[in-house]
Structure 1
């Protein structure tokens, strides 16, 4: 018997996740269920699903919304000898990595494992050698391992500025041949304290997930054929050539979120200048429908709305911080070079209230249909 309740994992409000914390074990149980695909609220709920109430379960694919919401409840930690396939995905950063390790060590007969997790609060990078020795060595029957593991580390905990090549050194001699890595330095804000940290990722190839976050200028030259939602972030500017690489490497991209407060060094001198001066080849994003530039410099509003730089034929949702940025780039909604990329927008999200002037309404005609 198979059951699937799997909403979009990186849009938490699209469907409420299952919560078992305050329910008796008989509420969600089955003596015949073998395959379950489900989204749950907390890591606790994942442990509840594996406490013996689903005795025949051989395959579990679970999306966890809030990994750090873990109670002090005592869970059944018996071996999960029937489980052959396990997938765990969570798109929120969390600290509970050690609990994940303990959970996976119960699955000694596992044949297929999928992990997509982002970990913070550690002073060491989780590399492939660590994964091999702490997890995979406990799974002698494992035949397939698909993964993306990102560790967010304070630079002060690193002996030097870490690069992808440093992580790559941990990928040898452990039997994982098709693996890559990347390191990005990103801004962080915790309790109103601002700083920088390293986002250190390791992942299997081909990259089979549809969501990827916090890659920067130094991402590897790989085609990510399955990624439709991407978050890019760096502490140095994204130039035009970088966005050309993004278009080539993410051919099916639908949702792009840009987080970069730094001005484009190469393009900013020419920003808002004569639109007849073509400095770059035009980048096209043929599938992009959602553009989020809320936490970005005004240069990236120019980069994506100016059709002499970027063409987005199917953009329907636009998110930005300040209406002043949009007014400056579009020259108070009269500029022809930014009109076409705005023509199909049906939804605008802004931190500032929108002023529905006549020129604004003509610029975004589908907002009113």
Structure 2
């Protein structure tokens, strides 16, 4: 037994493939092709070749090295090009890689990190890039780089968007990327570009205005089945391209907008009423309304009853009601009761009336929650586990106590940004109460918090987060706080109880505060001044 050894070649193909799948496909191909016949055959398996990403990805996209690209273009791609069905490329070596093979079975292309100038060059009829793939591509993922200068949207629309459909005549799937960067929002200025496609079945895009959405649904994509759109602004304006035609082919519609919508009843509902054969609906809206909350009864009457084929309905609607008469408002229990017939989803509702600010707020959503942010959380927050949320904001006219913050930390274990807006003092200050009762309450831990904002927050909350025996904060976090409040809580930057967490601050922003003194620098040894 002491001489027993197992070599890579001794393992069966199935085991080797399981092991190699832990690596990226580009690493497998680069490392194994050309080693020997057996490893060459395994590396050329469709598991590693049918969907190929030729860049490295951690938090950002990184190009392959020049030597790797040289080998891929001269040796690897000519050997496997007939097996590649989907190819993901970044801007630097894009055209060179496309010209390194024939790709007879390529149908999907992901283009990442392209600056607008290169996009304009790529999507013209006379480039060699187009001649390689123009008659094959049915799926296109297009992600414009975020660090390039902006080119007017009208130019982007007329040159990039128009040329895509003129060139890729068999295009069925188009995704303009998940980014919400401002320069990727399309606006179809009049006169509109002449874009028509009878093949497009699925579209993902971010637009500026509601009219831009209407433009895309005016019949030019008459076979569209699935449409996912993020709108920056839904506001009153001209609707010259608005048509009343139904959209019988649309089966899935997803609408996201983070800006306040003042025309939900006038714009959103009439649009939905055109989708008579819809099977899946996903709405994420922030609504200002003057005629009551949106509850289960409202959704049934105005949406569900108009869609007889609807199978799946998910939503996240945050509604602010600013009616001068706030009497006879439904309670949170009343609103919950209106969802009793929603059997397929767990519906969460949180309704509040804010007497000081004279407005009511109601948040309804279908669980599980899929957004990366959860804003304006109140004391009646129902809890739950939100693994995908990394941005949280808190607001109330009643004080937040220890139990509330403990619940927030448990509900959002991967939270990176937290904003606190509450000017009411705590009734049960943990630091003093635990001493008085001689009890050790658990330290609240925010393991991933990198940004902490105190927006019109009472000193009690600043104190709770900066005292290390109450709150654990990770190293190198950003702190936004009022200077006078910070000075009071830290007792002019000398208090021992807040020194440890203050020493973890990497960036301190104190709007309208004085110049940082040597005394403060000693208390915040890591800070960069903002």
Residue 217 of structure 1 and its aligned partner are, at CA, apart by 0.3
Q: Give the whole-Å Cα distance in 2 for the aligned partners of 1:368 and 1:177.
A: 47
CA deviation string 1:144-200 (max 9, x = no partner): 21111222224754443543211012112354552121113347xxxxxx7232211
Q: Give the whole-Å Cα distance in 2 for the aligned partners of 1:69 and 1:349.
A: 37
> Higher helix share goes to which structure?
2
2:270 is aligned to: 102
How many corresponding residue pairs? 356
| Correspondent of 1:166 among 310, 334, 337 | 334
Q: Is the 8 A contact 1:283 1:309 kept in 2?
A: yes
CA deviation string 1:256-308 (max 9, x = no partner): 1211111112219949x99xx87642101112212221221222211222212
Is 2:481 the counterpart of 1:331?
A: no
CA RMSD of aligned residues (A): 2.9
Is 2:387 the counterpart of 1:225?
A: yes
CA deviation string 1:47-88 (max 9, x = no partner): 222222333332222222222254343413322222222111
Q: Give the whole-Å Cα distance in 2 for the aligned partners of 1:200 and 1:181.
A: 7
Q: Give the whole-Å Cα distance in 2 for the aligned partners of 1:367 and 1:31.
A: 57
2:426 is aligned to: 264
Is 2:513 the counterpart of 1:353?
A: yes
Q: Is the 8 A contact 1:199 1:214 kept in 2?
A: no
Q: Give the whole-Å Cα distance in 2 for the aligned partners of 1:3 and 1:314.
A: 42
1:5 is aligned to: 176
Q: Is the 8 A contact 1:6 1:38 kept in 2?
A: yes
1:235 is aligned to: 397
Q: Give the whole-Å Cα distance in 2 for the aligned partners of 1:278 and 1:362.
A: 32
Change (3 A) 1:264 1:366: same
Q: Give the whole-Å Cα distance in 1 for the aligned partners of 2:298 and 2:342.
A: 10
For 1:141-180, list aligned pairs within 5 A. 141-154=309-322, 157-160=325-328, 162-180=330-348
* Matched residue SS, 2:513: coil
2:367 is aligned to: 205
Q: Is the 8 A contact 1:33 1:56 kept in 2?
A: yes
For 1:74-93, list aligned pairs within 5 A. 74-93=241-260
* Matched residue SS, 1:71: coil
Residue 142 of structure 1 and its aligned partner are, at CA, apart by 1.9
CA deviation string 1:191-234 (max 9, x = no partner): xxx72322112211222222222220011132223222222211
Change (3 A) 1:27 1:353: farther
Q: Which has the larger radius of gyration?
A: 2
**Higher mean displacement: 152-161 or 136-145:** 152-161
2:465 is aligned to: 304
Is 2:345 the counterpart of 1:183?
A: no
* Matched residue SS, 1:149: strand
Residue 102 of structure 1 and its aligned partner are, at CA, apart by 0.8
Query: Unaligned stretches of 5+ in structure 1?
Result: 188-193
Give me the TM-score of the superposition, normalised by structure 2: 0.61
Residue 22 of structure 1 and its aligned partner are, at CA, apart by 1.8
Q: Is the 8 A contact 1:268 1:299 kept in 2?
A: no
* Matched residue SS, 1:114: strand
* Matched residue SS, 1:203: strand
